[in-house]
Amino acid sequence: MRLEIIHTTRYGYSAPVSVAQHMAHLLPRQTPCQEVVSAQLVIEPEPTWLNQVLDHQGNPCHYFALVQPHLELSIRAHSVVNTREPLMVMDESPAMPWEVVRSHFEYRTGQPWDAANEYCYASRHVQPHDDFVSYAIKSFGAGRPLHDAAIDLMQRMHRDFAYVSHATDIHTPALEALSLRRGVCQDFAHIMLSCFRALGLSARYVSGYLLTDPPEGQPRLIGSDASHAWVSLYIPGWASGKLQASSNWLHLDPTNNRSGLGTPGEDYVCVAWGRDFADVSPVRGVIHGGARHTLEVGVTVTPENEASSTL
């Protein structure tokens, strides 16, 4: 599937900003399940300097600075991506018990380093607590294969939690969202990450987009989509043969009850992954001046056959 994504971000300031430095994760990355055909970032006013790099997670990242006074900042990210269905798991792949995977990350003298260890530990939005163990363990019976347990946890979360906009905000701790049993995709991703890591497993936060369909008979509304978030869980040695080592990640979307190896589905676009939202925030930075500010965000995800008539 070929998808076109336009993500616009506009900041308005009540007083001039004299100096600003920003970091953006807005352009998609290459993965085994998606190919980036084109990607462009347009910033107004034009930055004094702009540098595109790969961060230490391999995500495309833009650093830019503005040293001229400005009352508005506009960022437009335009991408075209070819997506694929989830990868197939080889028939001979082991149904690895979750306890075996947990032991894979326990320190032993002489054991080779696995980079996935980075995603086993606490981070800004993912903090350990016994409540996460209590909730998750109902899916993680003794000897149960990890992928079965993970999908069961995802399905339980989809049943137990209500998607309610404005029930939480970016500062709501995962533990509070667990207690509320409601929130948005970011909350559900942080809760699932907290459950996995509380059990000693490696899991990462994935940010991106999901193609949504308008009501039957209605046109697709420009800017009405939003960024999306889900989780990927590491299962060492699960992908074999021609599958790359980077494909040993089971992607799980508790918001929509979707899962798959390498991606939850071909209607998903991955932008970046990290330990939690703080690693992959679409835009963040530091400004001098500005006083109060407003923020407007618009996202449009469009299939190729609609793009020319809609965008």
Residue 76 and residue 125 in one domain: no
Average pLDDT rounded to a whole number, residues 276-281:
97
Query: Is the model more confident about 115 or about 21?
Result: 21
Note down the domain range covering 20.
Answer: 2-84+281-310
Residue 103 and residue 78 in one domain: no
Distance of CA 246 to the CA centre of its chain: 16
Taken in order 20, 222, 269, 250, the sign of the CA dihedral is: positive
> Does residue 31 lie within any of the structural domains?
yes
Average pLDDT rounded to a whole number, residues 190-197:
99
Q: How many domains does the chain have?
A: 2
Average pLDDT rounded to a whole number, residues 109-127:
92
Place of tokens 């899916």: 139
Distance of CA 216 to the CA centre of its chain: 28
Residue 128 and residue 71 in one domain: no
> Does residue 15 lie within any of the structural domains?
yes
Residue 221 has pLDDT above 90, yes or no: no
Residue 273 and residue 288 in one domain: no
Residue 34 and residue 104 in one domain: no
Average pLDDT rounded to a whole number, residues 83-91:
77
Residue 61 and residue 146 in one domain: no
Residue 142 and residue 248 in one domain: yes
- Residue 34's CATH number: 2.60.40.2250
Residue 148 and residue 76 in one domain: no
Residue 49 and residue 150 in one domain: no
Average pLDDT rounded to a whole number, residues 296-310:
80
> Does residue 92 lie within any of the structural domains?
no
> Does residue 91 lie within any of the structural domains?
no
At 53-68, the pLDDT tens digits run 999 999 999 999 999 9
Residue 156 and residue 275 in one domain: yes
> Does residue 45 lie within any of the structural domains?
yes
Structure confidence at residue 242 as a pLDDT band (50, 70, 90)? very low
Residue 260 and residue 292 in one domain: no
> Does residue 33 lie within any of the structural domains?
yes
> Does residue 19 lie within any of the structural domains?
yes
> Does residue 93 lie within any of the structural domains?
no
Residue 134 and residue 51 in one domain: no
- Residue 196's CATH number: 3.10.620.30
Residue 207 has pLDDT above 70, yes or no: yes
